[in-house]
Amino acid sequence: MVRSPFRFSNKRYHVSSHLLSELPFSRRDPRIRFVNHHVAHALSAYYVSGFSMANVISLDASGGQDSGLLGYGDGDDFHILHRISTDSSWGQMYGKFTEILGFKPHSDEGKVMGLAAYGTPDSDLFKFINWDEEIPTIRRDIFKHQVASFPRRQPDSELTEYHKNLAATLQYNFEQAILRMSKYLFKKTGCTSLCMGGGCALNCSANGKVLVEPHVKDIYVQPCAHDASTALGAALKVYRDEFGHRPDFQMDHAYWGPSFSDEEILAALKKAKVVKFHKANDLAKETAQLVADNKLVGWFQGRLEIGPRALGGRSILCNAKNPEMKDIVNKKVKNREPWRPFAPPFLEEDFAPYVEHPYPSPFMIIAFRANNEKIPDIMSATHVDKSVRVQTVHKHTNRPYWEMIKAFQDITGVPAILNTSFNVAGQPIVCTPFDAIGTFFATGLDYLAIGNYIVEK
């Protein structure tokens, strides 16, 4: 992990001398403003949530001198109610057990979250958490001592019941802590809207548990909740300080990356000497038919999405109704652990009957509980615990994607497909037409819908 060169200490910020020597300005330059790490996380959610008032939780491993803060936004203002010290870091706790379970900390926490669904939590195992406090804390001394006693799993070795139960215990305790934090904020403010930022906000299982609580009626999770969003949060803070009010902006989609015209795509196809492709008369219909026919389709449309989830800018699509599709995607393209879940994008208009407590989820960052009678429609996108990490696809924010799923619904009656990020294991998501064409030919994808072109092998 790269340590931030900005350190918050006694209300003063210090910049490492190494970085200062590289920058074309001095620390005292009046153009430079310093924004606390967790304030940036918090504002990256609250100021773009569209809420006029909301409780806010920011949580990560560490940033500034804290690992989190609890506060609330009221109009243009943001108030801090509680800081969570790095000694009691829920993000570090999660990272440590990710490592113990044989995965990469600060990277593979999502895998552990997926694994947790296979186990049974032991509510008494984590003796290092002090639940007697209003906001529970991690007792550092006991944590260090107890962590050393857990046997470490070698990467790629077998995952036993013990490992599954340990993952479940970790997830359970993490969720309970977040629930307590949200209750604390509700008690303080009476507000039923909640915003979440910081890397821990990417835990969609925990977010789903919070959303079904009676004290949370509305939720907004920053789609790029990890440290990348601190740049946005810092800019929003300076904007508010400079102009006296928050920007009039609601972040209702994540499509902020580059896009490519059909001319650029055609030029890339020709340069790559691709011969088997045609321009679609109706891209949505043609793609939907391929997906309905159980083909694996690379989907490259519009602007690249930001954040860790593929949201229909650079996605791999297939038929979620087919129970074998998950294994087919893993075998032909993704080569990832077979127990990890895939996620379904849904037409937002038609997703409510599929889950308990439906709520708009444009960023695939909330896990819902699927309704039993609807699971056969989304077999390959439903996790072992019947949770489903829905993306609601909205016509006004991604029309090509919405139209394709609508066309799929016209063919099959199901308003959802299965989506995974357009990349192979260990590689970043594709960005340019060249990236997409390269990954298409290097994997078992059957078709590529790129701009208005459909490419085959």
**Which residues are at the interface with Fe ion (CB under 5 A)?**
60, 63, 227
Nearer to Fe ion, 63 or 71 (CB): 63
Nearer to Fe ion, 86 or 294 (CB): 86
Pairwise CA distance, residues 154 & 156, whole Å: 6
For β-strands 6-9 and 12-15, DSSP reports them as antiparallel
Nearer to Fe ion, 41 or 321 (CB): 41
Nearer to Fe ion, 228 or 424 (CB): 228
Pairwise CA distance, residues 221 & 404, whole Å: 26
Return the number of other C-beta atoms located less than 10 Å from residue 281's C-beta.
Answer: 8
Three-state DSSP string of 157-169: CCCCHHHHHHHHH
Least Cβ distance, residue 224 to Fe ion (angstroms): 11
SS3 328: helix
Nearer to Fe ion, 61 or 304 (CB): 61
Residue nearest to Fe ion (CB): 60
Least Cβ distance, residue 14 to Fe ion (angstroms): 18
Least Cβ distance, residue 186 to Fe ion (angstroms): 24
Least Cβ distance, residue 10 to Fe ion (angstroms): 21
Nearer to Fe ion, 227 or 348 (CB): 227
Return the number of other C-beta atoms located less than 10 Å from residue 195's C-beta.
Answer: 28
Pairwise CA distance, residues 263 & 433, whole Å: 11
Least Cβ distance, residue 80 to Fe ion (angstroms): 16
Least Cβ distance, residue 95 to Fe ion (angstroms): 12
Nearest to 41 by CA among 270, 216, 217, 195: 195
Strands, sheet with 53-63, edge to edge from the N-terminal-most edge strand = 77-85, 66-74, 53-63, 193-197, 218-221
Specify whether the CB–CB gap between 301 and 451 falls below 8 A. yes
The set of residues, in sequence order, having a beta carbon less than 8 Å from that of 379 and lying 6+ positions away, is: 320, 321, 322, 323, 325
Nearer to Fe ion, 68 or 102 (CB): 68
Specify whether the CB–CB gap between 113 and 205 falls below 8 A. yes
Least Cβ distance, residue 60 to Fe ion (angstroms): 4
